[in-house]
Structures are given as C-alpha cells and as structure tokens.
Amino acid sequence: MEEYFIAKDLQADFDTVQVDVSFTAKKGSMTSIVGPSGSGKSTILRMIAGLEDGKKSPGKKIILDEKDITNLPPAKREIGMVFQNHALFDHLRVEDNVSYGLVSRGTKKKEARKLASDFLKDFNLEGFEKRMPQTLSGGEAQRVSLARTLITKPKLVLFDEPLSALDAPLRKKLSELIRQLQKTFGFTGIMVTHDIEEAKRISDRIILIKHGKLTWQGEPKDFSEKMI
C-alpha cells in the first residue's frame, strides 16, 4: 500500500525544542509518537496541522492523500485535531459543539443538529444533545470532542495526548473506542502519548522522538519502554 501521509523535513527551532523529522503513514493506520517530555512531539502535530510554521526548509513537504498541503491554512488541510483538554465551547450545548464544524462549512443549523444527534449514538452519547459541557464528566467531554472532530470526516486526525487527564480504566476504554471508531470511519490517525501501553494497544506503528529527532520506528510488538 502506498503512503497516504508524508511528512518530510519538518523542522522547527524554538527556545524550548528543536525538531527535524520525516515520516510516513499508511491510509487507515494509527501511528503513535512517543518520547521524553520536551522532545518535540506536540510541536510535530502542530506543524502538520498548520498551527506552527517551523522553519522555511526548502525540502519541507506535508502530503496528504497525494495532495501537497504544506502551505495551506489549517482550515483547508482536511485535518481534525483532538486535544488533551477537549476544547469544547462552554457556551454551546453538546449538539451545537458537535455540529459546529458542519455549520461553519455551510450546513443549515437544523440539519446539522439532526446529523449531530444521529452521530452521537456512535459515541454512546444518545440523549446528550441538550447537555452543557460543564455538566459532563471528563470521559463524556472527550467523547463529545471526538464526535465534533470526526463528524466533518477529516482525512487525517491528530491526537495530542487526548486521554492523559483521565484515570487508567477510562483511558483504556476510550483508547479502545478510538481504535473502534478508526475502523468504522476509516480515518488515518497520529497520536502523541506518554503512555507506552496505550501506544502499543492503539497503534499500527510507533515512532520514538528524542531531542526532536526520530530515533526509532516500527511495530508495537518490537517496542520497549527501555528505548526511551
């Protein structure tokens, strides 16, 4: 299978981190990026999403589904992103949080709410449409965040430690849900995580980043925490 996503010569030089990496991903796969704190993992995701420019390297390329998105603004990249703090709009009900991306793309609000209501069933959130984010548990809020991201059908989904604020049993449950959703919707995923067992459980491939450099990549079964 040809590479669906290509990140070539992603370079950044900030006060806190220097990054210089290249890697690829197959369509419909999940890649986990692991490594010590401060090694540049989240910076890599932000560069892919277009939220950080990094260096203007002449060799820098970000290719998604054979399309060069290197210089496109974030909204045009067909990329979704799920954050650690779920980043829901506190003033909007669950149905309006989930349908927000659809409305911003031109779908009528009433139709978008109906689509959101139907979509929430896949996340075990049926009946949550009128709830406010402040009334949700951490796990519920993260599932709403997942629904909001996936309803727009992004080609690539970036996960920036989305489960790190949750307790271990809930992390395991939601990581299994993410894997299930990936197979259902067919998106390609890249996840940053500090949890090695989570990376092994959810991934087709693991990438190890140290000091902004890719030092190892391979199958989860071949990865050991001793490598970090």
Give the pLDDT band (50/70/90) at residue 165.
Answer: confident
Q: Are 38 and 16 in contact (CB under 8 A)?
A: yes
User: Whose CA is closest to 10, among 52, 50, 44?
Assistant: 44
Give the pLDDT band (50/70/90) at residue 215.
Answer: very high
What is the structure's pLDDT at 101?
93
Domains of the chain: 3-78+154-222 (3.40.50.300), 89-142 (no CATH)
Token duo for residue 111: 């139709």
Distances from the Cα of 183 to the Cαs of 27, 175, 177, 178, in angstroms? 11, 13, 10, 9
Tell me how far apart the alpha carbons of residues 227 and 160 are, in angstroms, rounded to a whole number.
Answer: 21
Question: What's the pTM?
Answer: 0.92
Over residues 131-144, the pLDDT tens digits come to: 999 999 999 999 99
Write phi, then psi, for 110 (nearest 5 degrees): -65, -45
> What is the sign of the dihedral through the CA atoms of 86, 52, 194 and 203?
positive
What is the structure's pLDDT at 159?
96
Over residues 99-131, the pLDDT tens digits come to: 999 999 999 999 999 999 999 998 889 999 999
Place of tokens 């992603």: 10
What is the structure's pLDDT at 87?
85
- Largest Cα separation within the chain, whole Å, is 52
User: Whose CA is closest to 145, among 205, 190, 87?
Assistant: 87
Q: Is 70 exceeded by the pLDDT of residue 1? A: no
